Amino acid sequence: MRTVIAFTRSSKWLLSFTAIVALILSVSAFPSQPASAAAGPIKIGFSVSLSGDFSSDGQAILQGYQLWANDVNSHGGLLGRKVQLIHYDDASTPTQVATNYTKLITSDKVDLTVGPFSSLLTIPSAAVARRYGYAFLAPAGGGPSVFQQNFPNFFFVQPSPVADNLVSFANWLKSVPVSKRPKTAAYITVDDPFAKPETDTGRSFIQRRGVRTVYNTVVPAEVKDFQPIALATVHSHAQLVVIGSPGSDLTIALIHTFIQQHYSPKAIIATSGPDQGKTFSNAVGLRNTEGIMVPEGWWYGAKTFQNPEFIKSYLQRYHGTVADISQDVPEAYSVGQVLQQAVQKIHSLNNAALIREIHHDRFQTLQGPMHFDSAGRPMGQSFIVQWQNGKPLPVYPSRYAVRNVEYPKPAWH
């Protein structure tokens, strides 16, 4: 049917009764689609290390994002739309990670971005996101050098900045009677923006507890043969070993040599490695995990927001046990939780509005309540986890602890 519109010399529009009826009938005959369906999925882009030095952590980060997206989609999606994840392998390199985020934003036209693994990769990633005005929530990459960039769009979704992660361990040492404390310590750290500041800060606090440094070395990031460093640590006879590593390779390699050399310090704590669940326990042997410590922000038994549902989803998809779960998985899942709550709060995908919202609100995550300062630093505290009887368990501070610290660490098996 043709709509008839008459135009008069007085510049007034007159719509005939016939045209009005026709318009009503045409709208009734073709009911409109819901806006959410017409808009299609919400595309969330990220880069992930599926090869290279960070590949073990990268696989776990990917699991966390995928679990979150599956859980969101099984409950109706985000703003009534399905979540679609788009990701590329960055081969653990800063150049590729920057290329990936540029492609995600300019070619794939993603609606939102989330971060990769490591401080090394987070800085170039967040810079690209900032250039295009995207909010950037990261599951890892909380080294001081990241916050020094003063990215207005960056948020580190862990309980505390990584530089403070060993402070809790130093505080535990202070609680140990002087006669029982380790007298000497060895520090081995990768030259990495995540690991080195964490170890440096920890060393300054540990030395204040009267623990003398007998070995301290910084390992270039490109070094792959850790045997000489491990043997030097053994020969130092240090009673405490502190390992700074962005991934598990250094930690596992050192422990292998310690076992072979029958060198069993009173305490071992590593910034990464013991937090990677079965990746770690399979590598060193489950019985040899006993007594090893690591700073953490999540525990599988915590009564935090959606944690029981997360555990159920993980075991249904990946099987195994709760002790198998790498810390990277809930860290990535928590990124999704903060993003979801912020989007729902403002009911928009506008990145400028999201940045404002995340800076000023509080969020619930698997890792507990989360809020951020102006540089994107989380305003919380990590705790110390120790492997006991085949499981990583919180041991310090007391408000998190479910077991006492096992000290000294038992001999190797």
Query: Does 212 share its domain with 235?
Result: yes
Q: Is residue 404 part of a domain?
A: no
- 320 CB-near residues (< 8 Å, 6+ apart): 278
Q: Is residue 26 part of a domain?
A: yes
Query: Does 55 share its domain with 127?
Result: yes
Query: Does 69 share its domain with 150?
Result: yes
Q: How far apart are CA 275 and CA 7, in angstroms?
A: 75
Q: State how far the alpha carbon of 198 is from the alpha carbons of 239, 310, 387, in Å.
A: 20, 29, 21
Query: Does 168 share its domain with 158?
Result: no
Please check the confidence at residue 115 and state whether its pLDDT lies above 50: yes
- 275 CB-near residues (< 8 Å, 6+ apart): 294, 296, 326, 327, 328, 385, 392
Instruction: Kindly report whether the global pTM for this prediction surpasses the value 0.75.
Output: yes
Q: How far apart are CA 342 and CA 348, in angstroms?
A: 9
Encode pLDDT of 288-305 as tens digits. Answer: 999 999 999 999 999 999
Q: Is residue 408 part of a domain?
A: no
Query: Does 196 share its domain with 325?
Result: no
Query: Does 390 share its domain with 255?
Result: yes
How many domains does the chain fold into?
Answer: 3
Query: Does 150 share its domain with 202?
Result: no
Query: Does 257 share its domain with 331?
Result: no
CATH number of the domain that residue 129 is part of = 3.40.50.2300
Percentage of residues of the chain with pLDDT beyond 70: 91
Query: Does 132 share its domain with 17?
Result: no
Q: Is residue 402 part of a domain?
A: no
Query: Does 15 share its domain with 76?
Result: no
Q: What secondary structure letter does DSSP report for 412?
A: P
Prior bond of 397 cis (ω within 30°): yes
Query: Does 159 share its domain with 171?
Result: no
For residue 68, which of 354, 383, 272, 341 has the smallest C-alpha distance?
341
Encode pLDDT of 202-257 as tens digits. Answer: 999 999 999 999 999 999 988 989 999 999 999 999 999 999 998 889 999 999 99
Encode pLDDT of 49-93 as tens digits. Answer: 999 999 999 999 999 999 999 999 999 999 999 999 999 999 999
Whole domain around residue 85: which residue ranges?
Answer: 42-163+303-370
286-291-292 Cα angle (round to 5): 80
Q: What secondary structure letter does DSSP report for 31?
A: P
Q: What is the mean pLDDT of the chain?
A: 90
Q: Is residue 411 part of a domain?
A: no
